[in-house]
Structure 1
Amino acid sequence: MNDPEDSLLPGAEEAPESGPGTARGGRRRAEKRPRRLGGCLVALLLVGALGGVAWVGLTAGVDWVKQQFAEAEDFSGPGSGSVVIEVSPGDTATDIGRTLHDAGVVASVEAFTDAARGRSEEAARIQPGSYEMRKEMKAADALGVLINPGNAMVTRITVPEGLRAVDVAALLAEKTDFSKKQFDKALTRADELGLPDYAGGKAEGYLFPATYDFGPKDQPVDMLRAMVDRWRQSAEQNDIEQAAQRLGYTPHELMTVASLVEAEGRGDDMPKIARVIYNRLENPGTAGTIGRLEIDATVNYALGRKLGVAISTAEIDSVADNPYNTRRQTGLPPGPIEAPGDAAIAAALAPAKGDWYYYVTVDLRTGETKFATTYDEFLQYKAEFQTYCQTSDAC
């Protein structure tokens, strides 16, 4: 309901305090009638003369009073047909009511806001998204649709950790009505994805793994941008800029380390694996190392295939000059090889303390991983793994 102070009638600024449209109760104060003038018409003309308001102004005032005390216009039936409306983040009850009214769902904004006021706690929890409504619905019924989160028209997709950008595109294409070609094209639209400058226009590593709800109006670029936005949230929470300064790397290099950690480890081992990577980068030649990370997942990335596939020496040599092949190239690869999650990012930004230069997963079923500080210790763990493979079909 509008406040009378926000709806001044024509001439209200010049009218005396007792004029129409200014009294809080919506009625004029009683006035003493002149004894020698009678009849309704004469009285109305006198009011107009004394108040400086014409007959039109008085009529408008009467209409305004009726509007304030009358019930808001509302439809009586359940409605018919179908229309999709969009509730945006930050929308107020008035905003939603206006959207519904413009779409022909409710008869008036006031009817919806009145209904929302009566169920304020539930209305406050209306989720952004798309909703299928009928036209000419009773406002209370329209509210009932919106306060049920199960009525939001969304496609829920869970993107797991460790996927390459091409794998993300394939997953989204499988779960939506868009083609992989459309997602691949969207991946090239770096400016629209919201990537950080240091990503170099490439989305690899910046499509954050999480569960997403996409609406019917979302296009491929919108979906990918939502994933980059979620990455930004993680980067800010982990303060990647400050960590980069503290560790002596760029944010992009830290994201590259995080992707390697994601590919190589799990759980509590991640900070230790991050430390192995940093030790090898910062102390080349120590403990029998030769200045290379020697991570097989990077070779698979260079070969353009899923990262967990076993590799042969011939395959390593076939991409010997590829900068992502850490079996043959020194230092970090040019960028991330897959999308790391929160745990891997946190490990890259806060590696464990230790003198490890090697790690060997000795049990593929449990993921048990042992860390070595010397080459001889590494050979011992490697022999343990080989013995495990002789008695397990997990290898």
Structure 2
Amino acid sequence: MNARSASADGAGTPANSTRRVIFASFIGTAIEFYDFYVYATAAALIIGPVFFPHGSPGAQALSALVTFGIAFVARPIGSFVFGHFGDRIGRKSTLIASLMLMGISTTLIGFLPGFGAIGYLAPVLLCVLRFGQGIGLGGEWGGAALLATEYAPAGKRAWFGMFPQLGPSIGFLLSNGLFFGLALSLNEEQFRSWGWRIPFVVSALLVALGLYVRLRIVETPAFRAAIARHERVRMPVLTLLSAYWRPTLLGAFAMVVCYTVFYISTVFSLSYGVTALHIPRSHFLGMLCIAVVFMALASPLSALASDRYGRKPVLILGCIAVFLSGFTMAPLLGRGDGFHVMLFLAIELFLMGMTFAPMGALLPELFPTHVRYTGAGVAYNLGGILGASLAPYVAQLLVARGGLSWVGAYVSAAAAVSLLAISCMRETRDVTLG
């Protein structure tokens, strides 16, 4: 059934159009990842000095990166909670709830007083709100991917599934673009005192837009069919863990390469570039805004290729390319000049798009309808714990002990893990989502 399928509410309710489905799946992930990347950028630039009292800038940076990792621990919890309701009551209402939780958490960070105003309560509340961000995002991706893929016509599932995967590129561009504009328009004192809060507060406006779009969609045909066949289970999580643990783990390990290459090439590289290479903050943010365009360009190319040739060949090729790219980190990023740093960022983010785009179809294809929301979300977010939660923190330790070549080896090792997992999977291109 295609994107013009009839509504579950009967013939009197308008059907979703292809354009509406695509936009609803895209806009939510764009907003959710905007919120997530706002914090990631702030963690690399300002969270440490504002919320942590350590005298050492290095200790402040490490503390900020630990709070960055908290959300990745929360994300699988969010996928369990929202996955349960997404598989029990439907995709639409669950997606609306996840978007609201993420937006409220992000906006409140923008109003949170720093350590100088309320002492140790400041980092405690920051961790609580960061945990809320993780819970919300944990419930977002699985539903957005299902919204796209469960409406996709035959042979175009990766293309439809690419749109929620494109959302992170746009969210990152909006986030870094706003920080870039602030870096150009504000002096250091203004940015540190109040300017950094603006991107967090802007989240409220974006969430209002996302809610407007999602309130206008109807339930997916695959979920409506599952209701008609009485296929829903009482506890999707228990069914997932007992019967579908193998695809869950394989999906999680397959995601490791995406998370690692992205957060090493953005959060760690931004922190390292500003502090160790002494590249001005505005210059590095500008380079990241350009580099993320390469990620956005790679996404449709990779999705089209995976619809034509299969998920596994495209992802295996991408993992091999990321493995080799780890050896370019020290020669390119370590040079410290604009051309080589820009080249490194463009390569890494292009490869991120290449490995990330097919996941929008692959992970939902691993699971049947009655546990698909839970399974796809848990695999996706468990991969976040394995690949991203500690990646910037570990990279900071590795660069201090062995230099950038050790960080590059870390990226290559992550690619090897995902390559092994993908090699153990079955090809899912021709699976029916019913």
Q: Which has the larger radius of gyration?
A: 1
TM-score w.r.t. length of structure 1: 0.21
TM-score w.r.t. length of structure 2: 0.19
